[in-house]
């Protein structure tokens, strides 16, 4: 409720909440009281379905009625102890943020010494430690699996971390820098720079040819010159990319968005934009160190 722009809204919420509870109690009282005179037989409400199915005007059973009253009392006690009446913070002063911070402190006290132990070791040593990899796996599943998959195999638009192919480098320093600061990979639209539709298709076939895929050799030959004049600045004349700027290697047949003719043409014409978020604001140095080692372990395994 901290986003109220005026104190009146807090009062409005409190009144509506309390009035709703009172209204529930009044309605319950009315529905649980018989209006029949002593000795008079219970009548119907006048509602009839299927010709002879009538709704009788009987009061609620006492046990059911008291259960409802108990829920109203519970709601009032809850609203006294916890926030719920506008900006009133509750007698206990509980907040979800405070609970989260307490849990973080407890976790730091429990696991901090373990993480600090690994922080003092180099990344290669940590990557080979089974206990560290188990901790790293839990961190990966919490913070990285949403994009890269639980097995780190990636998906369309999200890199596979198991194949030893790196856009920005696979050294411990490069991986740690990626985790800390994130990455923004931008392939600008190059359709106009390349030329017309046929020119773009020629360049696409040249890219197919250097990656070892089925291609039209005549188109690839024509596209080579266009590639050199418009694409080589980032990807290099040989198409092997540039890890300094995150330009992918086009010769290894590993594709982030797909390697068909149609997808390559789409990439040339429209460009691509990918972002790896920075983790420095919610992961401390020790956790980033463990995650770096865990990810590095995939590359070492793939290289064997």
Tens digits of residue pLDDT in 158-167: 999 998 899 9
For residue 48, name the pLDDT band (cuts at 50, 70, 90).
confident
CB 214 within 8 A of CB 208: yes
For residue 202, name the pLDDT band (cuts at 50, 70, 90).
very high
- Cα separation, 240 vs 145, whole angstroms: 28
Q: Is the pLDDT of residue 277 over 90?
A: yes
In tens, the pLDDT along 86-141 reads: 888 899 999 999 998 999 899 889 888 999 999 999 999 999 999 999 999 999 99
What mean pLDDT value characterizes the chain?
A: 90
For residue 302, name the pLDDT band (cuts at 50, 70, 90).
very low
Residue 183 φ/ψ, nearest 5 degrees: -140, 150
For 53, the token pair is: 């199915």
pLDDT at 36: 57
For residue 61, name the pLDDT band (cuts at 50, 70, 90).
confident
Out of 26-40, 49-63, 140-154, 197-211, pick the least confident.
26-40
- Cα separation, 60 vs 34, whole angstroms: 9
pLDDT at 304: 43
pLDDT at 11: 87
Q: Is the pLDDT of residue 142 over 70?
A: yes
Q: What is the pLDDT averaged over residues 221-250? A: 95
* Cα distance from N-terminal residue to C-terminal residue, the chain: 55
For 10, the token pair is: 């807090």
For residue 30, name the pLDDT band (cuts at 50, 70, 90).
confident
């Amino acid at each position: 409720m901290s986003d109220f722009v005026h104190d009146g809204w807090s009062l409005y919420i409190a009144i509506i909440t309390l009035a709703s509870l009172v209204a529930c109690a009044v309605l319950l009282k009315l529905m649980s009281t018989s209006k029949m005179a002593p000795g008079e037989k219970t009548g119907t409400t006048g509602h009839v379905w299927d010709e002879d199915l009538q709704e009788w005007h009987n009061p609620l059973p006492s046990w059911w009625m008291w259960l409802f009253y108990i829920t109203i009392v519970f709601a009032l006690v809850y609203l006294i102890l916890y926030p719920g009446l506008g900006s009133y913070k509750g007698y206990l002063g509980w907040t979800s943020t405070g609970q989260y911070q307490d849990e973080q402190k407890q976790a730091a006290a429990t696991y901090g010494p373990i993480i600090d132990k690994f922080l003092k070791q180099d990344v290669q040593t940590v990557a080979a430690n089974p206990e560290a990899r188990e901790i790293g796996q839990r961190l990966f599943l919490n913070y990285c699996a949403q994009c890269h998959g639980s097995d780190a195999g990636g998906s369309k638009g999200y890199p596979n971390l198991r194949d030893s192919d790196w856009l920005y480098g696979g050294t411990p320093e490069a991986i740690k820098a990626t985790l800390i600061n994130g990455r923004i990979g931008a392939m600008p639209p190059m359709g106009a720079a390349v030329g017309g539709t046929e020119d773009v298709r020629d360049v696409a076939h040249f890219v197919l040819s250097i990656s070892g895929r089925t291609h039209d050799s005549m188109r690839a030959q024509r596209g080579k010159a266009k590639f050199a004049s418009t694409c080589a600045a980032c990807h290099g004349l040989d198409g092997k990319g540039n890890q300094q700027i995150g330009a992918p290697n086009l010769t290894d047949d590993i594709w982030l968005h797909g390697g068909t003719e149609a997808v390559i043409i789409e990439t040339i014409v429209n460009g691509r934009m990918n972002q790896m978020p920075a983790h420095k604001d919610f992961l401390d140095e020790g956790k980033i160190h463990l995650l770096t080692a865990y990810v590095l372990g995939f590359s070492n395994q793939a290289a064997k």
